[in-house]
Structure 1
C-alpha cells in the first residue's frame, strides 16, 4: 500500500463523527429521546460497537451496550439506518443536569440533559 492510500484511510477515519441531540422536549414525568447521528458511516449501525452512558459526579455508568440495557425499565435503544436513539423513561430530577454520551466505535459525542419548561 502506498503512502497516499494510507493517508486517505487515516483521514477518512478521522473526519467521521457522531453527534448527539435531544429530539423531544425534556419534561419531568415524561419520556425523552436522544438521537446519536452516525450517518457519516456507510455501515451504520451494525459494524461498530454502539454504546450509551451517562456521567454523574465524575462517575460514568454504561446504560446500553449493543442494544442490551443495564436498566431496561429506564433506558431502551432503537437503531435507525442513520443512527441510534436512546429513550429515557419517565424523567425524574436525577436524570436532569447529567451528561449523556453516545459512542459508535471510537467516536463519541455528549450532551447535558436540561429541562425545558415548555414545548418548542
Structure 2
C-alpha cells in the first residue's frame, strides 16, 4: 500500500497560484511574480515536474526550470514558497497581459493588473525646477511628469520650515500625472542661506533641491535646473559648422587663385601679340 501511495503521490494535483511579491510596484524597478504551490519547497521540490513561465507582451515562454529565454528582461529562480520570475525594468508595456506559471500538469494564469498599487517616481528627464529669491520673496516652480501618486512638497530656507504644498495644476496622462507646483512665500530673514525642497511620491522621499541661495535684491538672477544638456551633441554640431566654414573658405580662395592666374595668362598673351 505504501509503495502504491508513493507511486501515485507525484501525480496528485496541487493548488498553485502566482502573486506579485511586493506592493506597490514601482515603474522602472524590478517586479517579481511568485508561483506558490502547496507541494513545492526548496528542499522537497519534485524535480521531475517542469517549472515554466509564459506570458508578457509577446505571449511567449519566459523561462523553463529556472533558465530564462531572455535574461535581459526576465530572471527565474526557486523561492521558499515556490518558483518566481522577475520582470526587470518594469514598464507600462508589462501590465494587462496574461502570465501563466505551470508546475507539471498544474498551472495558473491571470492578467497582470496593478489597480492603484503602483508608483512612478520623478527623474531628471521628467522634471523642471525654477526658483528665485528677490526682495524677501521666495518663488518656486516645479514641474514633474509621469509621476504617481500625486506628490506633495515641503520647502525650507535657512533650516526653517516654510510650508508644505500640493500641486497647483494636475493633469492625468493614462496611468500617470503631470503636476505643477507654483508658490510664493515671504521670507522673514533676508540674506543667504540653505534652500531645500523635499517631495514625497507615494512611499518615497526625494530631495529635489539642496543648495545655497541669496536674496538678489532685484537683480535678474534665476536659478534653473532642467534636464541635462547633451554636450557631446553640441560639440559635434560646432565642429561640423567649423568644418563646413573651412571648406567654403577653401573653395573661395581656390576660385580667386584660378581667377588671378587666368588674368596673368591673358596679359602674357597680349604682350606676345605686341
TM-score range, shorter chain: 0.7 to 0.9
Aligned length: 113
1:52 aligns with: 53
Name the CA distance, whole Å, in 1 between partners of 2:46 and 2:92.
Answer: 31
* SS of equivalent to 1:94: helix
1:96 aligns with 2:119: no
SS at match of 1:64: strand
C-alpha distance in structure 2 between counterparts of 1:81 and 1:107, whole Å = 19
1 CA distance for matches of 2:83 and 2:46?
A: 7
Deviation at 1:45, TM superposition (A): 5.1
Corresponding residue number in structure 1 for 2:17: 19
Describe the SS at the equivalent of 1:76.
Answer: strand
Give the distance between the partners of 2:69 and 2:40, measured in 1 at CA: 26
Structure whose residues are more often helix by fraction: 2
Larger radius of gyration: 2
Q: How far apart in 1 are the matches of 2:81 and 2:118?
A: 30
Consecutive aligned runs of 4 or more in structure 1 exceeding 6 Å deviation: none
Q: Name structure 2 gaps, 5 residues minimum.
A: 120-201, 204-274
Distance 2:19 2:86 in 1: 12
Question: Are residues 1:34 and 2:33 paired?
Answer: yes
Residues 18, 36 of structure 1: 8 Å contact kept:
yes
1:70 Cα deviation from its structure 2 partner: 1.1
Work out whether residues 20 and 109 of structure 1, in 8 Å CA contact, stay in contact via their aligned partners in 2: yes
**Aligned counterpart, 2:75:** 76
- TM-score by length of structure 1 reads 0.76
Residue 36 (structure 1) shift: 0.5
8 Å contact from structure 2 (residues 74, 85) kept in 1: yes
C-alpha contact 2:26 2:90 (8 A) present in aligned 1: yes
Question: CA offset at residue 84 of structure 1?
Answer: 0.6
